[in-house]
Amino acid sequence: MKPVNVGLLGLGTVGGGTVNVLSRNANEITRRAGRPIHIVKASARDLSRPRICDTTGIEVTSDPFAVVNDPNIDVIVELIGGNELALELVKKAIANGKHVVTANKALIALNGNELFALAQEKGVMVAFEAAVAGGIPIIKAIREGLAGNRIEWLAGIINGTSNFILTEMRDKGREFAAVLKEAQTLGYAEADPKFDVEGIDAAHKLTILASIAFGIPLQFDRIYTEGISRVRREDVSYAEQLGYRIKHLGIARRTSAGIELRVHPTLIPYRRLIANVDGVMNAVLVKSDAVGPTLYYGAGAGADPTASAVVADLVDVVRTLTTDPENRVPHLAFQPAAISDIPILPMAEVETAYYLRMEAADKPGVLADVTRIFGDQDISIEAILQKEPPVENVGTVSVIMLSQVVKEKRMNEALKRIERLDSIKGKVIRIRRENLG
């Protein structure tokens, strides 16, 4: 059996993990793929840097183009991240007739439509299981395992850094800033944590999940994105008292009016399995018509978990090297000609329930004014909780409300009017609420 020669772009954490998994499980992988898989060439920015893997037998270079242009290489594995250089390298690899495996969610979310079209023209594959939720085989589950289903919605904890922060805030009563600093020390968050805590990383991943779930083009720019930096310790605590937990969710839902695509902090009932996914773990809950709800849980990052997904893609590529390109599993689950540009709902048209916290003057009539405004917007209140004020805020009370499901634009109008009341101090804190039943 002639080996399949692989060129690896990036020898960092995931690249090193990929080398280790291929070496450690070589016999099993060969039995599954039908041919040996050998990494013969790799690129790294710093050739002197210590590695987590043994590169014996691998030609290592600082020039990634030397890898993609090598005629002896069959498959390129792109693990350098980012968008500009990675895009150039992947396009060159496709032009050279090489299959591509990538863990780069930004690359796929922002450029996948173009890359898949180029790959189809050249008769090659672009595989991207590792781009979403690390080692959880969620792409394969939706694209193949649920191929007989009409998917109604999905909701995912798809950023481990944000989940770690919210878990620490809940379990230890800590503030966001303190936990973020610890996450950076532990290596869970970058020095600039914006991509994680402001929801951009999760939005990249939701773009991909929604596309394969609903057969729509990749549309990162249409996702409503909100991070966790404004979630306060008291909101986490109040949510717990009300029977909920706050999770940073990516939600995609099919409705009669269009597709919802949104990333934001969300209250979910604490009894839901996904509400109990803690620390840096990831989970995706998928609701489809035939099988009902299915939950996929596991490590969303790390050397070996992500390498697991990379190597699984390599095995898939090797299995299909001799397959007629027209009969391969489509990149986005649906046949390219069947991709449908279903409208994406603006956030103002989305319907959901809400958790609201406001600081109100401790005097008669305030709640009556607030509930009157909600009534004018046809917003029903499900529960009200009034908390004693802290010592430094004598004269005000925290009022927590849970609304029933309402269109977001109605809630926006109600909150604008409430915030104009003299009896309400500052902005009303709002966190969306989903039952996920």
Which sequence positions are flagged as catalytic?
205
Identify residue 331 by its one-letter amino acid code: H
Residue owning tokens 């710093």: 46
List the structure tokens of 292: 């009902």
Q: For residue 231, how many C-alpha atoms fall within 13 Å in the half-sphere facing its CB?
A: 35
Sheet bearing 4-9, strands edge to edge:
59-61, 37-43, 4-9, 75-78, 99-102, 126-127
In whole angstroms, what is the distance from residue 67 CA to residue 335 CA? Answer: 31
Instruction: List Cβ<8 Å contacts ≥24 apart for 176-179.
Output: 176/228, 176/229, 176/231, 176/232, 176/233
In whole angstroms, what is the distance from residue 208 CA to residue 154 CA? Answer: 12
In whole angstroms, what is the distance from residue 291 CA to residue 348 CA? Answer: 31
Give bridge partners of residue 407 from the DSSP assignment: 351
Residue owning tokens 């083009």: 217
In whole angstroms, what is the distance from residue 215 CA to residue 206 CA? Answer: 13
**Rounded-to-5 percentages of helix, strand, coil across the chain:** 40, 25, 35
Are 150 and 288 spatial neighbours (Cβ–Cβ below 8 Å)? yes
Cα 225 from chain centre: 11
CA distances from 224 to 215, 263, 285 (A): 19, 6, 19
